[in-house]
Amino acid sequence: MSLIHRPAVNAVLLGSAVCLLCLFGILSRTGGDLASYWPTNAFLLGILIRYPHFAHRWGWVAAALGYFAADALTGSSLTKNVLLNAANLSGVAVGYWIFHRADRSMNRLETTSSVLYMLMAIVGASAMSSLLGAVAMIYLFNDTAMKGFAIWFATELVNFIGFLPLLLSIPSRDQFPAHPMRWLGQQFKIEKIAPALALVLSAILGHMIGGPGAVAFTIPALMWCAVSYSLFTTAFITFWVSAWSLISIIVNMLTDVHGVLNRDLVMSVRMGLSLVMLTPIMIGSVMVANRELVKKLKVLADHDELTNLPNRRAFLATSTHQLERLKERSESCSVLMIDIDHFKSVNDRFGHAAGDDVLRRLGQLLGECLRRQDIVGRLGGEEFAVFLPRASAADAQQVAESIRISLEVTPITVPGQTQPLLCTVSIGMASDRRSSVALDTMLVRADQCLYKAKQQGRNRVVQVSISD
């Protein structure tokens, strides 16, 4: 499709979605009040922020037509149509302007500051919409300007907080699981579903007891969900709780026998519900930041800072786990012990910076020469180790020779020296056809072979096969 027609297609899609959501909201209207649930403004703002290609001028035009078409189809007068939807569009425009001025990282709710910024945008959008909405409230319900502003503001606030975080936290394509069905199967564990079950039970209990306080029954379960699930899942759950609370509690519990709402009580419930819905989103954003921090700390704890390879502890843990799996299937494995020849003389002659360059270069070569399933680590100093799962002695020999030759023919530039530095490695190798011995035993045998390689003149591979 050409670029000329793409904005038109986007505009049609956006306008249609806006119209459908408006119709849904209009159907939730009760006597004497606005719609019980109005997700359209939050939906439009979220789409324009997360997917900027919809924010074309024709997208705005189509969205406006969607608003006006929905009210026209349901029999609203022209005056009512203009008053209501001018307020709706003005709020979205202000929210978009606030978001548009911020860094794009603020659009993903991955930090607590981004949630606070979202709240600022929501308050700004709700306030702007309420300024015009107050006029509509005066005209439609004979409210005072202050009361009309307050009711409209509470309505906008709860709808924005309930729906906007869901759109802003949608994972990017690379964040979706590579194997969705396998991932889905892993979710059906008691520790995974317990928070959701608690939420359902608390919602049922709140519905049975009834009253305005029912909106608070789900708070503990929502907080449990926030610390247990991803931010998107938390926002998704919060969205449904918000929708259920607005429609079920307000329509079924806050109307009199004639179906007329107690509007003061509804405004109070909406404001309270806004704060309830904001709590899990704030906690969820904190959990996202904490998970990222833990991930970074784990990388620092498990990796050698100089070569960025796994350190001794991480190498031993990962290799031991892999070896246990190989033992169950009686599959082969091999271990390489690698040591840079005359490394001390490199440090003495050219300085420790040159030695660091050699270590970094060897780390890079190991990544290039090894198979995807192989595990490599720096054990300390100039000594490295490689665990090769499902590798016969011949396979391991080929990998070892590839490493040895690659470093031998790779010149390493040393600052202040006219000639590049050439280094070699000695490699000891131990292979086991059935993965029958412990990792420590294999490392000891490979280290013995490494010692023999040094004795025999260095720059060579010496191997041993471990019998069953």
Catalytic annotation, residues: 382
Reported as type and span, the H/E element at residue 380 is: strand 375-380
69 CB contacts (<8 Å, ≥6 apart)?
19, 22
Crossing angle (nearest 10°) for helices 145-168 and 78-100: 50
**In this structure, which amino acid lies at residue 376?**
V
Backbone angles phi, psi at 426, to 5 degrees: -110, 140
380 φ/ψ sector (left φ>0, alpha ψ -120 to 50, else beta): left
Q: Which two tokens stand for residue 48?
A: 């324009």
372 φ/ψ sector (left φ>0, alpha ψ -120 to 50, else beta): alpha
Reported as type and span, the H/E element at residue 333 is: strand 333-340
Q: What is the dihedral of CA 88, 91, 95, 98, to 10 degrees?
A: 150
Compute CA distances 232 → 116, 160, 237, whole Å. Answer: 17, 16, 9
Reported as type and span, the H/E element at residue 466 is: strand 461-466
Task: Report the distance separating Cα 205 and Cα 49, nearest Å.
Answer: 37
**In this structure, which amino acid lies at residue 463?**
Q
3-state DSSP helix/strand/coil percent for the chain, to nearest 5?
Answer: 70, 10, 20
**Residue tagged 């271990």 (tokens):** 335
Map residue 211 onto helix, strand or coil: coil
Compute CA distances 299 → 311, 379, 424, whole Å. Answer: 10, 16, 29
385 strand-pairing partners? 337, 377
Compute CA distances 136 → 42, 83, 155, 253, whole Å. Answer: 20, 5, 14, 26
Q: Which two tokens stand for residue 78?
A: 């022209």
Task: Report the distance separating Cα 463 and Cα 443, nearest Å.
Answer: 12
- CB 334, CB 388: distance < 8 Å: yes
Task: Report the distance separating Cα 186 and Cα 302, nearest Å.
Answer: 26
Crossing angle (nearest 10°) for helices 263-302 and 145-168: 30
203 strand-pairing partners? none
